Chain A
């Protein structure tokens, strides 16, 4: 009986296992193998670590793309999390029409990537885009959001904030709703004000959710592709050459598949390291309910 159960267990999870072997594990090893070769869909040649060596010591654009992506992550993750949390706190109040507001907040994040990129291209238009009308109304000169390399990253961060009411906010909201009122009441009896209560009760209790959002946000920054591909194509002067975009163009426009595989592995290692660091640091600030400290 037990054997049969085990057999059935394996059979049932086999779709995932087969998929994992064919589309994840096998390809991962292949791409590691490829990263030590040059390959252009025509001929393959072993080049040792030359791909990596070039990436780290010669390729300017590789470093630029890392810098762009990191800057974006450093700006968009904290800002995005703050915005999402603020929206979630607002939606956790007891006022009317919350459902409507939640829907309105959420809508931007289901706008498909290409459409949203085209829409923002239009909003960020220098001459008559909506954003520059606000800028000019304030009395500032129009900004070349997508043409001046000094501003492009902010344009992309702004665009990412438009999606603050999405998945992240809903997760926060669920987290907030999961906090039992007892905690607040206890704190209130201690005479804590609203801000104090938020800081010392809500935030610690939300920290696991927060942690999840930080980790996913950093991973997400390394996946920015569609918006950059459609809006700027990586320009001006590679100021929007996000890592995922550079990897894609290296692979499917220049067909340097060996180099692109090396980039993919570098990305993998970076994300692994970043996630590891976050987990280590997380031990200090993430409080799990019921866990002893």
Chain B
């Protein structure tokens, strides 16, 4: 009896306490929420940017809202669809086309027109084009860039190889050279186990980019059919299959489980990723030298570029204030600070990207022009609202090949294409 009453009282108190905890002390400022994801380093930076913005504002307060990366896309969709989305959010471009179609984002054109001090001219055109839909602009591009190769300079030197970047400058950085480097940097330790791998197979969809730089295509121009299994595509899958299962120069999924051969561990020679990894690597890599080099690219082919969209929720109550914050995050001042002072990201603004201060770096990565080169010779990823529908299907078709359970490259490529085409030909939503 007594026990029950006491428990009830306790529950009541907890409930009251938690409810009152939800009610923020209202200092009369307009509260905005900004949502983004990233590794711990990126998140810390975003937090600092918010703080900086808040310092200068006496009317507006921005609160930073973190969601774990793996659930980010799903959670964002739920929030957008259930009227609880933050005012401003960073949207990975993979998901942008399918969301913008549903009118979840605020068209920025009028805000830009009214804002005399703002111009889109300084931004990379391909970056801005990504945020357009039906002739209107729904996102300001941030963290723009293309995938390239991070390499462990120390391992390259130990293997007695020339620096890949020098090779690239001499025009000798080919996929054959890449393979040779990968093989030569692979080492076995005691017990016959591999202690070091020359390269890791890029994660999807960067592998798609490797199809393109080897002369292939990802989709046909109408963006309705997958071209990844054409000749160059199949050649590429063969290349990766052999690198892993014939030359054993790249770790299998089980060998690389639990990030044993991550780039930062120092046990991996070459690693593919976007430019956003630099801050993390700069912070955690202490025991070796590293740098970046563009992927090998056959003449006439293009790199792939992709960004994130900084977008405003269509249902925000404070579009003007939210715009102020978006403008702040993409302002020359912040871009300069991020790209030049902190050497964090690749800038979306040309004035910064081409500035001498940016291109000359005293700390790794020193070959900043690799970023620029990739963007200058890049075309956007062919991402449509069906992207997520077919990519998973295509990849699953390659699973058995890539895990080494099958060696039939052609069969796998055809199977993958069949699955992806089927997914694309199905009406959306089924």
Q: CB within 8 Å of B: which residues of A? A: 38-43, 45, 47, 50-51, 54, 58, 60-61, 125-127, 144, 146-150, 235-238, 252-256, 258-259
What separation, in Å, do the CA atoms of A238 and B403 have in the docked complex? 13
What separation, in Å, do the CA atoms of A52 and B81 have in the docked complex? 25
Set A45, A60, A148, A238: member contacting B254, Cβ < 8 A: A148
B257 & A125 in contact (Cβ 8 Å cutoff): yes
B429 & A237 in contact (Cβ 8 Å cutoff): no
For residue A256, which residue of chain B has the nearest CB? Answer: B429
Instruction: Tell me which residues across on chain B come within 8 A of A38, comparing CB atoms.
Output: 427-430
Closest chain B CB from A261 CB (angstroms): 12
For chain B, give the interface size range: 20 to 34
A127 & B396 in contact (Cβ 8 Å cutoff): no
Q: Which of B406-430 contact A (CB under 8 A)?
A: 419, 422, 426-430
Known contacts: A40-B429, A47-B430, A253-B74. The answer to whether A126 contacts B257 by CB under 8 A is yes
- 8 closest pairs, A vs B, by CB? A38-B429, A41-B81, A147-B254, A237-B399, A144-B254, A126-B254, A42-B102, A147-B253
A254 & B403 in contact (Cβ 8 Å cutoff): no
A259 & B257 in contact (Cβ 8 Å cutoff): no
B258 & A125 in contact (Cβ 8 Å cutoff): yes
* Chain B interface, >50% SS class: loop
Known contacts: A47-B430, A127-B260, A236-B399. The answer to whether A254 contacts B254 by CB under 8 A is no
Instruction: Tell me which residues across on chain B come within 8 A of A45, comparing CB atoms.
Output: 429
Instruction: Tell me which residues across on chain A come within 8 A of B252, comparing CB atoms.
Output: 147
Q: List 21 A-B contacts (CB under 8 A).
A: A38-B427, A38-B429, A38-B430, A40-B429, A41-B78, A47-B430, A54-B426, A126-B255, A127-B255, A127-B260, A147-B252, A147-B254, A148-B254, A148-B403, A150-B405, A236-B403, A237-B396, A237-B400, A252-B78, A256-B430, A258-B430
Instruction: Tell me which residues across on chain A come within 8 A of B426, comparing CB atoms.
Output: 54, 58
Q: Does B111 sit at the interface, judged by CB under 8 A? A: no
Given contacts A40-B429, A58-B426, A237-B400, 4 further A-B contacts (CB under 8 A): A51-B430, A125-B257, A236-B253, A238-B396
Instruction: Tell me which residues across on chain B come within 8 A of A39, comparing CB atoms.
Output: 429
Instruction: Tell me which residues across on chain B come within 8 A of A149, comparing CB atoms.
Output: 403, 405
Instruction: Tell me which residues across on chain A come within 8 A of B430, comparing CB atoms.
Output: 38, 47, 50-51, 54, 256, 258-259
Closest chain A CB from B222 CB (angstroms): 23
Instruction: Tell me which residues across on chain A come within 8 A of B253, comparing CB atoms.
Output: 147, 236
Closest chain A CB from B144 CB (angstroms): 26
Set A60, A235, A253, A258: member contacting B429, Cβ < 8 A: A258
